[in-house]
Amino acid sequence: MVEAPDPHTVLVTGGAGYIGSHTCRLLAAGGFRPIAYDNLSTGHDWAVKWGPLERGELADGTRLREVMRKYRPAAVIHFAASIAAGESVIEPLKYYRNNVAGSLALIEAMRDCAVPRIVFSSTAAVYGNPQTRLLSEAHPLAPINPYGASKLMVETMLRDAAAAHGLIANILRYFNASGADPDAGIGEDHEPETHLIPRVLFVALGKEREASIFGADYPTPDGTCVRDYIHILDLAEAHLCALKRELPKGSISVHNLGTGHGYSVKQIMEVARRITGHPIPVSIKPRRPGDPPELVADPALALQELNWRPTRSSLERLIADAWAWHKTRHG
Ligand code: UDP
């Protein structure tokens, strides 16, 4: 006999990570009890402040079942994953192991422990090269890197598990998470850091000599890649909106989380120069394998169905918030 889930308890895999910790903060503010499940391979124990930390591997089904039976969560928000598109081209099997095999262990444990709902971190990388200027959820799914392919495989597993086992799955396809909540003492801290905004800010901090532009010959207005940058708190908030949405057993929903506005690598650097007051010298490097020229969301479905509004995602605000965080962390 499985005990009924506690409607206020949410298990957050990757809860010690960048998006996970910001989501735990908003969950706690919204009356939920977040349980962070993390192996601390890339997350930080200092980022777990709003509920207990349970250390464990995602692939360890025994440990997952133990934690699920202890807390009886009503939902899992699943962040734990390898996340660098460029690295995934060089080390694809790491992505299939951590993202696909890890998620399989999690979904099996959820089925066995009767955890009814999952909110899954998917990615714009499932779309591949855009065939339309804005990417809607109906755009063909044709990833061009193993990171995107691994996330698409998990989406497929969730679809089948929902149909067979009555699981409810909210799939959220993120565009480029950035910014920080410096008031909460948390922010982005990857080692090594591969993401554009922190790497540019490291130059302003004097940690790096110059910033790199990976390719200036793309078919975009200034030749550099265009991305849709979304403030981490807007992104985190969408998880609460998704969790609160009433859905019947066995249903899947898919939403893009982006702003609908794209900015190039050069535009990011320009705003970073203005905010930091540092000249930020750059050098042009070869293209990074696995990079589509442009990824910009059509967020209409999320706005309508999740009752969600990104309110903090101006480029100025998210770079200023990231700058405040990195100065505290590394300054
Ligand atoms: N990029 C860059 N220099 C860097 C880091 C990233 O030019 O030091 C580019 C990267 O090639 C991509 C964009 O910036 O076109 C955003 O990369 P990021 O790794 O931040 O996110 P992704 O879009 O890969 O998830």
Domain ranges of the chain: 7-178+229-257, 182-228+260-330
Does the domain formed by 182-228+260-330 have CATH 3.90.25.10?
yes
What is the Cα–Cα distance from 133 to 153, expressed in whole angstroms? 25
The residue length of the chain stands at: 331
Whether 41 contacts 79, CB under 8 Å: no
Q: What is the pLDDT of residue 2?
A: 63
- Give the three-state DSSP class for 190: coil
Question: For ligand 1, is residue 176 a contact (CB within 6 Å)?
Answer: yes
Omega of the bond leading into 299 within 30 degrees of 0 (cis): no
Angstrom distances, CA of residue 141 to CA of 130, 164, 202: 10, 23, 34
Q: What is the pLDDT of residue 330?
A: 86
Q: What is the pLDDT of residue 1?
A: 47
Q: What is the pLDDT of residue 268?
A: 98
Of 280, 259, 123, 257, the closest CA to residue 197 belongs to: 280
Q: What is the pLDDT of residue 78?
A: 98
Question: For ligand 1, is residue 199 a contact (CB within 6 Å)?
Answer: yes
Q: What is the pLDDT of residue 3?
A: 79
pTM of the complete model: 0.97
What is the Cα–Cα distance from 68 to 66, expressed in whole angstroms? 6
Stretches where the chain sits below pLDDT 50 are: 1
Q: What is the pLDDT of residue 191?
A: 92
Catalytically annotated residue among 147, 174, 229, 263:
147
What is the second-level CATH architecture of the domain 7-178+229-257?
Answer: 3-Layer(aba) Sandwich (3.40)
Question: For ligand 1, is residue 286 a contact (CB within 6 Å)?
Answer: no
Token reading at 212: 């790199």
